[in-house]
Amino acid sequence: MRKSLILIAVLIIYFTELFSQSAPPNMPHYDKKVAHFGISFGYNQFYSNMIGKENPPFQDTIMGFDSDRNSGFQLMFVSDLRLLNWLNLRFTPGVTFGDRRLNYYEYKNNEFVVKSTSLEAIYVELPLEFKIRSKRWRNMRPYLIAGGKYTYDLGSIKRKKANPEDVMLKIDNSEIFYTVGAGVDFYLPYFKFGVELKTSYALTNILIPEFHTMYSDVLDKIRTQVFYINLTFE
């Protein structure tokens, strides 16, 4: 799925630039504006890095654990401030929807079983990023992204009651990420269109330990990673 979306993004870049070469540059004075605004939406993929303890309990029951990569989408509002000719500061608040599925591999009653839990994520995001831009070439301008963000997960507020056999983990609502990525802006006749690929890595551990709880006791940390493919309109 992710490879297909990357291919689509590359094709958009190729054909947009191909058909723009014979025309004069669009919006030649656009980058002289001090500030501009827009919207961004796209696809995301969540992954939870589950880090186990060095000498975990329940070694005769929990044989291993991992996380699936699950897809979602997001909607952001773009506020862009020009600092230098090649450097902009962006504030892009918005909402991200996703899902994190954690799997435990157990040996119980002389057989192997897989127990899973799904952690719904509804992130309210407050990203602050630097946009490092190359020199404009006709109607396109590549750039790099670096920055950080604070997120608050509305999805983890909901905590269902379950029987002792269910996988239950206590998860922190707040996370801090650093973000890196790259993209290309295309200057169209009436607006600027961008294609952006980036990844956010959590600096904080979202696992809240619950002692004497099997699924929590075997873990030391859970750190979130999110991959994004965004389309921006400014």
Element (H, E) at 54: none
- CA trace torsion 95, 176, 45, 80 (10° rounding): 50
> Cα-flanking dihedrals φ and ψ of residue 67, to 5°?
-130, 140
Q: Are 172 and 204 in contact (CB under 8 A)?
A: yes
Distances (CA, A) of 135 to 8, 79, 83, 210, 234: 25, 21, 15, 53, 19
Q: Using 50, 70 and 90 to split pLDDT, how confident is the model at 158?
A: very low
pLDDT band (50, 70, 90) for residue 42: very high
Q: Which residue has the higher pLDDT, 113 or 210?
A: 113
Query: Quick one: DSSP state of residue 136?
Result: -
In this structure, the number of other CB atoms found within 10 A of the CB of residue 144 comes to: 14
- Give the count of beta carbons closer than 10 Å to the beta carbon of residue 25: 13
Cα distance between residue 14 and residue 140, in whole Å = 11
* Average per-residue pLDDT for the chain: 84
pLDDT higher than threshold 90 for residue 14 = no
Domains and CATH numbers, the chain: 2-233 (2.40.160.20)
pLDDT digits (tens, 9 = 90+) for 103-127: 888 887 778 888 888 888 899 999 9
What 3-state class would DSSP assign to 148? Answer: strand
Q: What's the CA gap between 33 and 22, in Å, rounded?
A: 26
* Residue scoring higher pLDDT (6 or 37): 37
- Contact yes or no for 74/127 (Cβ under 8 A): no
Element (H, E) at 36: strand 35-52
Distances (CA, A) of 88 to 132, 197, 231: 7, 17, 18
Beta bridge partners of 52: 219
**Short-list 47, 102, 110, CA closest to 218:** 102
* Residue at 40: amino acid letter: S
pLDDT at 223 over 60: yes
Cα–Cα distance, 180 to 126 (Å, whole number)? 15
